Structure 1
Amino acid sequence: MNISGAIFDLDGTLLDTTEIWEGVAARYITSLRKTPEPGLREKTKAMTLPMLCSYLKDEYRIATTESKIAKGFNTILREDYLESADIKQYVPILLEKFKQKGVAMCITTSTDKAIANEILVRLGIRDYFTFIMTCEEAGGDKESPKVFLDAHKKLGTPKDETIVVEDGLLAIRGAKEADFYVIAVADKNEEQNKAEIQELSDRYIESFEELL
């Protein structure tokens, strides 16, 4: 396959940050002296930030605005990102390889754009990506094909030469519904979905070394 465009997920794909996301909502609820429900991350993992804030406000009867909930959530997320977020092995080598081949690259993510931009700059890989598109900007979560279609339209590459690189089952479903060639990246937090991910995706890799 000739690749001229690549749409990358951030958390769990390029960055080893899935565990950070796993705990942020629970930490936020705990900070309010409330008890987070079991499986909170699983219930909310495909939500955009506005959807998550609406869910938390209703489910935990939080007496504040959704914008203030988002601010508190992002404060915790940013602290964790700056303290412990790291890049997955071989990612910088792959990005440089794609750059040398003229592949246009972008990010789609549920993470706040300012936080995503900051961590990519800190890790030294921001300049590889033409833009960052959030699910909030696209107006839907990653289970919907819209974020991938919007990102592809902005990227401007031929669809049959554009890949989506993702780790999550719900996002892979969305990308396949949008009819993209999907490369699935192994992530320990999606281990329970591995068989379905392997079946849905066009290629499954355990490490980015396989793409070098």
Structure 2
Amino acid sequence: MSGKEYLIFDLDGTLVDSMPFWENLATELLHRHGIDQLPADLHDRIQTMTLTDSAVFIQELFALPVTAESLAQEMRALMDQHYRNDIPLKVGVYAYLQNAYQSGRKIVLATASSSVLAKDCLRRLKLLPFFDFVFSCEDVGQDKTQPTIYQAAARYFGQQPNKISVYEDALYAASTAKRAGFHLIGVYDHQSKKEWTDLQNLADETIDFATVVKGENK
């Protein structure tokens, strides 16, 4: 358990195993529009974008005869189904959050997903009561290549960054939080295991929730 009283958690890849669904979203969307031949690096190119920005990118790249806004709505609808129905919780997360909540920690979410989708997912997985607030990149107007969302959470807490732990699995987001002065806890995720060594070197602490639940500390 983090020694800090104030905790910021990422959602995708940190608390829930949603990254396979996000990685397949552009493919799922484009298949619906009759496009099966996709660039091999498409996911890498949109990985750090908000859903709105990725819709604009996809609309322009494939010259689709629909608006970027309608694509974004379609993508939200697809992910809404997944968040409400089948995105699973990562092993060990519930017990960890419950312990943090019961010990009096103040907890917020900072996610690149929309706040509505995030809340739907947390509610289904019985996690929503643990969180004081849900921050979304779309709501603050910047993705996690910028520290805006973490700074918004710090203002909410009324604390300086060094008093707050940020839990992130993605190296680019973790780097942003670290540069902004937050206490960084790197979270292991099998989808980003290629970055794990770099994340371990960057982070102040690391954790694998699946081993914590077995009584092993990372």
| Rounded Cα–Cα distance in structure 1 between residues aligned with 2:150 and 2:108 | 10
2:67 corresponding residue in structure 1: 65
Write the mapping of 1:70-109 to structure 2, written as runs, cut at 5 A.
70-109=72-111
| Rounded Cα–Cα distance in structure 2 between residues aligned with 1:137 and 1:81 | 19
Q: Does the aligned pair in 1 maintain the 2:83–2:120 contact within 8 Å?
A: no
Q: Which moved more, 1:53-62 or 1:76-85?
A: 76-85
| Rounded Cα–Cα distance in structure 2 between residues aligned with 1:136 and 1:36 | 26
Q: Which moved more, 1:5-14 or 1:48-57?
A: 48-57
Secondary structure of 1:7's aligned partner: strand
Secondary structure of 1:87's aligned partner: coil
Q: Which moved more, 1:151-160 or 1:166-175?
A: 151-160
Secondary structure of 1:140's aligned partner: coil
Q: TM-score, normalised by structure 1?
A: 0.93
| Rounded Cα–Cα distance in structure 2 between residues aligned with 1:195 and 1:172 | 13
Secondary structure of 1:184's aligned partner: strand
2:202 to 195, 200, 205: 200
Q: Does the aligned pair in 2 maintain the 1:53–1:70 contact within 8 Å?
A: yes
The alignment yields a C-alpha RMSD, in angstroms, of: 1.7
Q: Does the aligned pair in 2 maintain the 1:20–1:81 contact within 8 Å?
A: no
Q: TM-score, normalised by structure 2?
A: 0.91
In the comparison of the two structures, how many residue pairs are matched? 212
1:41 corresponding residue in structure 2: 43
Q: Does the aligned pair in 2 maintain the 1:16–1:86 contact within 8 Å?
A: yes
Q: Segments of 4+ in structure 1 off by > 6 A?
A: none
1:4 corresponding residue in structure 2: 5
Secondary structure of 2:24's aligned partner: helix
Could you tell me which amino acid in structure 1 is paired with residue 79 of structure 2?
Answer: L
How big is each residue's C-alpha offset from its partner over 1:86-110, in whole Å with a ceiling of 9 and x where there is no partner?
1112212111211122111111111
> Taking every aligned residue pair, what percent have the same amino acid on both sides?
26
Secondary structure of 1:183's aligned partner: strand
Secondary structure of 2:23's aligned partner: helix
Write the mapping of 1:11-160 to structure 2, written as runs, cut at 5 A.
11-34=12-35, 35-160=37-162
How big is each residue's C-alpha offset from its partner over 1:18-74, in whole Å with a ceiling of 9 and x where there is no partner?
111110111111111113321222211111122111111111112222221111001
1:141 CA drift (Å)? 1.0
1:166 to 162, 165, 168: 168
Q: Does the aligned pair in 1 maintain the 2:145–2:176 contact within 8 Å?
A: yes
| Rounded Cα–Cα distance in structure 1 between residues aligned with 2:82 and 2:102 | 33
| Rounded Cα–Cα distance in structure 2 between residues aligned with 1:102 and 1:49 | 33
Segments of 5+ residues of structure 1 without an aligned counterpart are: none
| Rounded Cα–Cα distance in structure 2 between residues aligned with 1:211 and 1:5 | 20
Segments of 5+ residues of structure 2 without an aligned counterpart are: none
| Rounded Cα–Cα distance in structure 2 between residues aligned with 1:110 and 1:196 | 22
Distance 1:27 1:15, change over 3 A: same
1:152 CA drift (Å)? 1.6
1:158 CA drift (Å)? 4.5
